[in-house]
Structure 1
Amino acid sequence: MNRLTDPRPVHVLKIEDLHAAHAADVGVILVQVDQMARINNSAGTATGDAVLDEIGRRLENFAIDEFGHGSCVERLDGPRFLIVPAAPLSLGALRAQERALHVALAEPIVGDPNGRLSIRIVTALVTRDEPVADQLRQAGDQLARPASARDGVIVHAALSGGEVAIHYQPQYDVTTGAMTGVEALLRWQHPELGLLGAGPLVTAARAARLECELTEHAHRVALAEMARWPRQLGKLRVSLNITAADLGDPGFADRFAAMAKAAGVDPDRLTLELTEQAMLSDPASAAEQLAKIRNLGAAIAIDDFGTGYSSLALLARLPIDYLKIDSGFTRTIDGNDRDRIVVRAIVDLARALGLLVVAEGIENERQLERLRELGVATWQGFLKSGPVPGDQLPGLMEV
């Protein structure tokens, strides 16, 4: 039986014990995964079970890392999980951990044919005045309510309030070490929590069906910044991320062309990145939009290549210039024979198709040396720099 209909019981005594030990109300986090029905229908309940097991494992690691040993993760009804910290925390302190929680669940899960999962998070204060089960049920009701209105308010506030920021991760030539480009990455400058990763805002935009609006705004910010860059950054290629929703919008390519023209940015300096899952969601629309983008002079890159259900037929048919190898392969390339073989196969495939390869997640010199041996052209990673604001790029070019 699929665990969506066979949840494990909640260990409510864990919360009661905390009440008794600390004589205080207890803050908890509830997490809901939104696409489990889709995964069960498309890939089978065995795959759904495996995805839930992986989510549970990641949440357990997150709880221990962030809240210490003695923290508890429990399955609730359906695709919901409960996180109980080892010691009582305020709701504000728990909400401040949402960024880390999104990161913990952001990496693609093997077996999920449609890529990264969308999650909902709600924090709740379990008091000593009411039965624990009733309070958890009330908190769960918040997850069950349509999130689009609430998430729409969040996204519109971020867009209108100037909270969308762009950081840039440098990309380097494997042979010369020169900085040749950057990947533009969305950041959320939250008015209360400070600088957050893209995860919370992207999740809200997806739930509110505002992904296209968020992408367009992020592109507009990045293009405006590029137009003001000093001369020494003038030859850097900038990679911008797009989604399946963007490719499904018939007007996307034309709007992007208009934005680049208005900003005075040469499309020859731009690369648009999409995942395999985005490419596969609507191949006909993807082919049409990508052809228009290529006609502008911009390049196309497939991000996180090797983590989804790769379609060699689509790779041969669609106008693609780069393959980006997922960091899950490159981080162990210096010690894992299987990952090294996979990377070599991707490089050979790319070479046969006339494509260049970019490796993500490079953290040490051994990994970089392996890339040289395998013939990878470009890399990015914390070995030299993580994502930084645009005004820090000139200094990195001099390093």
Structure 2
Amino acid sequence: MNRISESLSGCVRTLENLHLRYDADVGVMLVQVDQMARINNSAGTAAGDAVLDEIGRRLESFATDEFGQGSRVDRIDGPRFLIVPAVPLSLGALRAQERALHVALAEPMVGDPKGRLAIRIAAALIARDEPVVEQLRTASDQLARPASARDGAMVMAALSRGEVVIHYQPQYDVATGAMSGVEALLRWQHPELGLLGAGPLVTAARAARLERELTEHAHHVALAEIAAWPEALANIRVSLNITAADLGDPEFAERFAGMARQANVDPARLTLELTEQAMLSDPASAAEQLAQIRAFGCAIAIDDFGTGYSSLSLLARLPIDYLKIDSGFTRTIDDSDRDRIVVRAIVDLARALGLLVVAEGIEKPQQLERLKELGVATWQGFLKSGPVAGDQLPGLLAA
């Protein structure tokens, strides 16, 4: 396996040697991982490092398979990687591999089970007659620079072409094991790269200030599908995610209620999930919108609970029904006394406030046993099922 370096020096020498050996310009690929701050904040820097290590391993495997032995992968700056093929390749040849590389990195991984990471990939040509370090820095800076106009065009094209799809991750009753609900998760059916996680599209929408448009479109898609589900799924609750941009819109609750009525979906089946951070971005507006949503008949859940800075008084004042424990706490609940104490404290807090608890990120039977001991009501995770298309849910219900 190739060594992943933390500096530019190794790959600079490799590129200079390729220039000398082949007397040719050398094509490279740069990869940037977005949304790492979310993982570091929610699950800790160790989990973030594990994600980057896994990405590094996937990049090394990809480089060896596609570009040959001797290809090099360098981690050059935080969540940014550089691939130097073993032999000089043209920009066209590298760009032809971008789709395969996206696919290699698209599978969910420990630390990012919902596939929220956004991966940016760019090919660059390193000329043999110009300083290598400066060229690499320029290419790296261009990859990191926001491109709102391009991002906006990409989001609007995805919406107009119907590329936004919804997958559903089942939620199970801890006591009985029965499926009791699902969380609706956005996916991007890219015309060239295939099915991608939400990360790339959400990141682009945020940069282009199109978050509300993307969320509304995803809700339209999900509500239309829910309305068409068979009778076997009639009692399954559905959680839909909302953002700080939604809560900051004074017309959001009324507009969502109108969409649900038009789709003929019973609001009592729906839960709207928001993160602690979204709730805190504008508490007054959030309280008003959440009160309207509750009055319409939907439940409210705080997602990734324990990773933000919400006050107990705010939790007591807002109309909340569920607390979802972040996977950063549940991942090591079977062997970490500290995480068990945190989860127990959250369960006790929820019980005192009259709230139910959902545990995310359950991947091992031992975690599930701990949840039973701690009195958690509901769980979701890859132990039973990751996110699936809606037409697969009846089969999982019967399993």
Alignment match of 2:75 (pick from 51, 59, 73): 73
How much identity, in percent, do the aligned residues show?
Answer: 64
CA distance in 2, matches of 1:367, 1:313: 30
140-149 vs 154-163, greater mean Cα deviation: 140-149
Q: Give, in whole Å, the separation in 2 of the partners of 1:210 and 1:221.
A: 17
Deviation at 1:27, TM superposition (A): 2.1
Structure 2 residue aligned with 1:42? none
1:198 maps onto 2:198 in alignment: yes
Instruction: Flag structure 1 segments of 5+ consecutive residues without an equivalent.
Output: 1-6, 40-46, 109-115
Tell whether the 8 Å contact from 2:8 to 2:74 is kept in structure 1 after alignment: no
Aligned-pair CA distance for 1:32: 8.0
- The code of the aligned residue for 1:28 comes to M
Does structure 1 conserve the Cα–Cα contact (< 8 Å) formed by 2:51 and 2:109?
A: yes
In the TM superposition, what are the counterparts of 1:1-399 in structure 2 within 5 Å?
Answer: 11=10, 12-17=12-17, 25-31=26-32, 58-68=51-61, 70-75=72-77, 81-85=80-84, 87=86, 90-94=94-98, 96-98=100-102, 100=105, 121-131=120-130, 132-140=132-140, 142-143=142-143, 146-399=146-399
Cα distance between partner residues in 1 of 2:13 and 2:314: 53
Contact 1:26/1:125 (8 A) holds in 2: yes
Contact 1:362–1:368 (Cα < 8 Å) also in 2: yes
Is the contact made by 2:31 and 2:120 (CA closer than 8 Å) also made in structure 1? yes
Q: Within 2, Cα distance between the matches of 1:139 and 1:179?
A: 48
The amino acid of 2:120's aligned partner reads: I
* Post-superposition CA distance 1:7-43 (Å, at most 9, x none): 976552243345667888332215386999xx9xxxx
Task: Please give the TM-score of this superposition, normalised by the length of structure 1.
Answer: 0.83
Task: State whether residues 118 and 200 of structure 2, in contact with CA within 8 Å, keep that contact through their aligned partners in structure 1.
Answer: no
TM-aligned CA distance change 1:247 to 1:14, over 3 Å: farther
By how many angstroms is 1:137 displaced?
4.2
Q: Counterpart of 1:71 in 2: which secondary structure? A: strand
Asked if the contact 2:327–2:359 (Cα under 8 Å) also holds between the matched residues in 1, the reply is yes
1:118 shift after superposition: 9.0
Distance 1:328 1:143 in 2: 29
Shift in CA distance, 33/163, structure 1 to aligned 2, threshold 3 Å: closer
Secondary structure at 2:361 match in 1: coil
Residue 60 of structure 1: CA displacement? 4.8
Q: Distance in 2 between matches of 1:279 and 1:388?
A: 28
AA aligned to 1:290 is L
In structure 2, give the amino acid aligned to 1:320. Answer: I
Instruction: Answer whether contact 1:276 1:309 (CA < 8 A) is retained.
Output: yes
The farther-off stretch of 330-339 and 342-351 is 330-339
Deviations 1:329-353 (A, max 9, x none): 1121111111111111100000001
Distance 1:397 1:35, change over 3 A: closer
Deviation string, structure 1 residues 181-203 (Cα, Å, up to 9, x no partner): 10000000000000000001100
Distance 1:303 1:161 in 2: 30
Q: Within 1, Cα distance between the matches of 2:50 and 2:396? A: 37
Q: CA deviation at 1:71?
A: 1.9
Inter-CA distance 198–151: structure 2 relative to 1 (3 Å threshold): same
Instruction: Answer yes or no: is the 8 Å Cα contact 1:102–1:199 preserved in 2.
Output: no
> Residues 391 and 164 of structure 1: is their aligned pair in 2 closer, same or farther, counting only changes over 3 Å?
same
| Equivalent residues of 1:35, 1:117 under 8 A apart | no
Contact 2:248 2:282 in 1 (8 A): yes
Count of matched residue pairs: 372
1:221 and 1:21 map into 2 onto residues whose CA distance is 55
Q: Residue 196 and residue 80 in structure 1: after superposition, are their counterparts in 2 closer, same or farther (change >3 A)?
A: closer
Q: Structure 1 residues 259 and 271, CA, compared in 2 at 3 Å: closer, same or farther?
A: same
Q: Deviations over 1:119-138 (max 9, x none)?
A: 78341223454422343244
TM-score by length of 2: 0.83
Q: What do the CA deviations read for 1:336-376 (whole angstroms, capped 9, x no partner)?
A: 11111111110000000100000111112211111111000
Give the counterpart letter for 2:252 in structure 1.
Answer: F
SS where residue 213 of structure 2 aligns? helix
- For the structure 1 residues 345 and 141, does the alpha-carbon distance in structure 2 shift closer, same or farther, using more than 3 Å as the test? closer
- Distance in 2 separating the partners of 1:83 and 1:54: 22
Q: Hey, what's the Cα distance between the residues in 2 that align with 1:309 and 1:91?
A: 42
* Alpha-carbon distance in 1 for matches of 2:220, 2:259: 7
Give the secondary-structure state (helix, strand or coil) at the position aligned to 1:397.
helix
Letter of the 2:57 partner, please give it: I
> How far 1:177 moved relative to its partner?
1.1
Q: Shift in Å at residue 94 of structure 1?
A: 3.9
Change (3 A) 1:373 1:87: farther
Residues 17/332 of structure 1: CA separation in 2 closer, same or farther (3 Å cut)? farther
In structure 2, how many angstroms separate the alpha carbons of the residues matched to 1:8 and 1:290? 48
CA 1:160–1:129 in structure 2 vs 1: closer, same or farther (change >3 Å)?
A: same
- For 1:56 and 1:174, the matched residues in 2 are separated by 31
> Per-residue deviation at 1:238?
0.2
Task: Report the Cα distance in structure 1 between the residues aligned to 2:359 and 2:139, rounded to whole angstroms.
Answer: 42
